[in-house]
Amino acid sequence: MERMPKKYYAFFVLPTALAFLIAFLIPFLFGIYLSFTEFSTVTNSRWVGPQNYLEVFAGNSSFRNAAIFTGKFAIVSVILVNLVAFGLALLLTRKIRGTDSFRTVFFMPNLIGGIVLGYIWQLIINGILLNYGVDITFSASYGFWGLVVLTTWQHAGYMMVIYIAAIQSIPVELREAARIDGANAWQELRNITVPLVMPAFTICTFLTLTDSFRLFDQNLSLTAGAPARASAMLALDIYTTFYGRVGSEGVGQAKAVLFFLFVGLIALGQLRITRPREVES
């Protein structure tokens, strides 16, 4: 097959490179600059140095509280979403009647917008809690577990599809050889299925981890951070800071930069932990 001459590379790369530069890199770098300024619009910024970053962590920091809440939520939701998704994938890769219909039903919640899901689950959860004289905004713990249930219900079906693809790619000969050697279902799962779906586990963990930290729509519609911003996650806290009062835009921008670094480091750490296991498997 004849290769394309190198002189045409720039012609095809240039549109994508320009789009990346204009839509991402320049706004990103300008956002970092704005985090060191006080501004209400991008044309009237005034340099204040690290003051915005000092204010982020000063006193009873809402950002610190949101980071703790988000961290706890991420740990619980990543574990639950992947366990439920992997369990469903195991069930739906067996020769059970109607598996295609079940896959469609479990995947469908992922197609619903986060704002809509938040309001739907708010009605469901409040319908239960009102029998006890409270609602989801009564305590941050109610909002926490409401978000966990909502996220698991929404994302498990999507991760299930990835796990199903990985399970179905396992050679049938390996399973047959294991059964001939006398392996039971648990041994087959532990020694064949789990090691060979590690690439899918890496992908699903990365997706659920980053989605958990970036969660905004569902948090806004389900609890809006109530009570007293105790159930506000990082994205909602940044939004509330930026648009909450005039003059706090610089602090909100500083929080956004810290948020980017925080999520990036955690995602890279997760990949560093899980990728070597793929090689071992």
- CA separation, residue 195 to residues 129, 140, 178, 281 (Å): 42, 38, 14, 5
The whole-angstrom separation of Cα 140 and Cα 147 is 11
Which secondary structure element, helix H or strand E, spans residue 170, and what is its range? none
With tokens 């204009």, the residue in question is 22
Rg over CA atoms, the chain: 23
Neighbours of 105 (CB within 10 A): 11
The whole-angstrom separation of Cα 19 and Cα 14 is 9
- Domains in the chain, please, with CATH? 61-280 (1.10.3720.10)
The whole-angstrom separation of Cα 71 and Cα 89 is 27
The whole-angstrom separation of Cα 194 and Cα 186 is 11
Task: Label residue 163 exposed, middle or buried (CB < 10 Å: 0-12, 13-18, 19+).
Answer: buried
With tokens 């005034």, the residue in question is 46
Pick from 262, 52, 87, 253: nearest CA to 164: 87
pTM: 0.89
Give the distance from CA 52 to its chain's centroid: 27
- Residue 97: predicted pLDDT: 83
Pick from 127, 113, 146: nearest CA to 226: 146
The whole-angstrom separation of Cα 233 and Cα 70 is 5
Give the distance from CA 22 to its chain's centroid: 26
- Determine contact, residues 155/211, Cβ cutoff 8 Å: yes
The whole-angstrom separation of Cα 159 and Cα 127 is 29
Pick from 217, 218, 240: nearest CA to 229: 240
Over residues 91-145, the pLDDT tens digits come to 999 877 888 899 999 999 999 989 999 999 999 999 999 999 999 999 999 999 9
- Determine contact, residues 213/187, Cβ cutoff 8 Å: no
pLDDT tens per residue, the chain (281 residues)? 566 667 777 788 889 999 999 999 999 999 999 999 999 888 888 999 999 999 998 866 789 999 999 999 999 999 999 999 999 999 999 877 888 899 999 999 999 989 999 999 999 999 999 999 999 999 999 999 999 999 999 999 999 999 999 999 988 898 888 888 888 888 989 889 999 999 999 999 999 999 999 999 999 999 999 998 899 999 999 999 999 878 899 999 999 999 999 999 998 998 888 877 764 44
Q: What token pair was written down for 46?
A: 């005034």
The whole-angstrom separation of Cα 158 and Cα 103 is 10
- CA separation, residue 265 to residues 229, 241, 260 (Å): 25, 23, 9
Which secondary structure element, helix H or strand E, spans residue 38, and what is its range? strand 37-38
- Determine contact, residues 229/60, Cβ cutoff 8 Å: no
